[in-house]
Homo-oligomer: A and B are copies of this chain.
Amino acid sequence: MRRPPHPTDTPHRVVIVGGGFGGLYAAKALRRAQVEITLVDRANHHLFQPLLYQVATGILTEGEIAPPLRALLRSQRNVRVLLAEATGFDPEAGELTAVAHGGEPMTLPYDTLIVAAGAAVPDHDGDDGAHEAPGLKTLDDAREIRSRVLRAFEMAELTDDPAERAAWLRFAVVGGGPTGVELAGQIAGLARRTLRRDYRSVDTAEATVELLEVGPRLLPDFPESLGRRAARDLARIGVDVRLGAAAAALDAGGLELADGTRVDARTVIWAAGVTPSPLAQVLADAANARLDRAGRVRVCRDLTLPHHADVFVIGDMAAVEGVPGVAPAAMQEGRHAARTIRARLAGRPTPGTFRYVDKGSLAVIGHNRAVGEAAGVRFSGRIALLVWAVVHLRYLLGWGNRLVTVTRWLWTMLARDRGQRVIASQGSLKARAYNPIVNI
């Protein structure tokens, strides 16, 4: 197929798939370029994933970490935002296909395409198909986890059977990376600090959080001493850290580990392993892209698809040697793609190979501690929490959100309270009686 002729006096058309860190920062880095940007996302919001676990544990609200893409790009007049899901692309014609809510298909011609559709945590179904462990990647996931965790305490209050009560008060978090560490710490804090005086039959401080990590230490991407420090700090706030623990099967009663041990936890959360967006496979099929073992797209050193210099793949979807799947990497890749496009348009030499600048790592542990590392310096405890707070507020978008977020953090720490404790989906008997519409 031939590329349709494109008059040279119209702006260069950039289509970006995904408004996460990669796509959003690419769009922003093109704000002064003579381009016409179309940003396509199936959600209407950017998602500040590093704070998603705080939505899952009742501290922050959805709106505070998920500003609308439109609002973020309001004043950048060379961008239009479309709420649609990218479903396919034709590299020869230079066209992306997308589908809007309700199934309306559309074709978006591009001169340059940036694919930044991210990853998902697949839900893990049990062998019986009835039980599943939700992952944490979207706002819906966070809402589901919050509801499950809060409901578990309610179920513990309702039962008279001590074994069943213990199983409702036991939470298993699978995966000892930052998300698992942060979730486990916050669930323990919810039980020991926030909910303590709310129940009559249950002492919520008896709740246990089992943090299961298949490897030999927590936070495998952090310096080893910080993994040990995290394990020690977590143990102090009631998290039972199990290293070398591989989840083997999931059922209604909990988890079975590979060594045969059972974890009788009615609430299991999946914080290990992500799956790239289904668009990775679409790219593989349409452009002969190769995927790595994890399903990510192998890209050239300048982040373009092999043999398709007009297609960039960035963020969690892209397999780049030595680059972890974290927000700063996606931001840097987005900016690199934008710089390359600007250089091409200006006829300047392109930046070429993408180089990841590791700015360090941080993970929060419970309500008043963190561990972190930056430029070779390791820190932990309250100082690390302060650094963490400053860094995250710096990157959180919008002054209103920053203000409310700080207020909620202080509230959570000082008043030991959490503002968002709604259990979603209120049961089955919702009156759906059909009222005849005539004669209201």
Chain A contact residues, CB within 8 Å of chain B: 42-45, 58, 61-64, 66-68, 70-71, 74-75, 80-85, 87, 100-102, 104, 106, 120, 122-125, 138-140, 150-151, 154-155, 157-159, 174-175, 195, 197-201, 214, 246-250, 258, 272-273, 275, 277-278, 400-401, 404, 407, 411, 415, 417, 419-435, 437-440
Contact A80 B433 (CB under 8 A): no
Sample 7 A-B pairs with CB under 8 A, ordered by A number: A44-B154, A61-B419, A63-B421, A83-B155, A101-B151, A214-B440, A249-B438
Identical copies in the complex: 2
The 4 closest A-B pairs by CB, nearest first: A63-B420, A120-B431, A83-B154, A70-B198
Question: Could you say which of B120, B422, B425 contacts A66, with CB atoms under 8 Å apart?
Answer: B422
Question: Could you say which of B407, B429, B432 contacts A123, with CB atoms under 8 Å apart?
Answer: B432
Contact B83 A151 (CB under 8 A): yes
Cα distance, A400 to B433, chains bound together (Å): 37
In the complex, which residue of chain B has the Cβ closest to the Cβ of A426? B43
Minimum CB–CB distance from A279 to chain B (whole Å) comes to 9
In the complex, which residue of chain B has the Cβ closest to the Cβ of A147? B44
In the complex, which residue of chain B has the Cβ closest to the Cβ of A68? B421
Minimum CB–CB distance from A136 to chain B (whole Å) comes to 13
Question: Could you say which of B140, B425, B435 contacts A426, with CB atoms under 8 Å apart?
Answer: B140
Contact B155 A80 (CB under 8 A): no
In the complex, which residue of chain B has the Cβ closest to the Cβ of A64? B419
Cα distance, A52 to B130, chains bound together (Å): 34
In the complex, which residue of chain B has the Cβ closest to the Cβ of A213? B440
**Cβ contacts under 8 Å, A272 to chain B:** 440
Minimum CB–CB distance from A152 to chain B (whole Å) comes to 10
Question: Could you say which of B151, B159, B400, B420 contacts A419, with CB atoms under 8 Å apart?
Answer: B400
Cα distance, A66 to B250, chains bound together (Å): 34
Contact A278 B423 (CB under 8 A): no
Question: Could you say which of B421, B425, B429, B430 contacts A71, with CB atoms under 8 Å apart?
Answer: B421
**Cβ contacts under 8 Å, A140 to chain B:** 424-426
Contact A70 B199 (CB under 8 A): yes
Contact A154 B80 (CB under 8 A): no
Q: Given A71-B421, A404-B404, A431-B277, are A155 and B102 neighbors across the interface (CB < 8 Å)?
A: yes
Contact A248 B433 (CB under 8 A): no
**Cβ contacts under 8 Å, A58 to chain B:** 63
In the complex, which residue of chain B has the Cβ closest to the Cβ of A215? B440
**Cβ contacts under 8 Å, A80 to chain B:** 157, 200-201
Minimum CB–CB distance from A15 to chain B (whole Å) comes to 15
Q: Given A422-B44, A422-B63, are A440 and B122 neighbors across the interface (CB < 8 Å)?
A: no
Contact B435 A275 (CB under 8 A): yes
**Cβ contacts under 8 Å, A201 to chain B:** 80
Q: Given A154-B101, A250-B437, A415-B400, are A61 and B198 neighbors across the interface (CB < 8 Å)?
A: no
**Cβ contacts under 8 Å, A427 to chain B:** 42-43, 85, 101
**Cβ contacts under 8 Å, A71 to chain B:** 198, 417, 421
Q: Given A68-B198, A102-B155, A427-B42, are A433 and B83 neighbors across the interface (CB < 8 Å)?
A: no
Question: Could you say which of B67, B246, B431 contacts A440, with CB atoms under 8 Å apart?
Answer: B246
Sample of 6 more A-B contacts, CB < 8 Å, known A100-B155, A138-B430, A139-B422: A71-B417, A80-B157, A83-B155, A124-B435, A250-B437, A275-B435
Cα distance, A42 to B158, chains bound together (Å): 13
Contact A275 B431 (CB under 8 A): yes
**Cβ contacts under 8 Å, A70 to chain B:** 195, 198-199
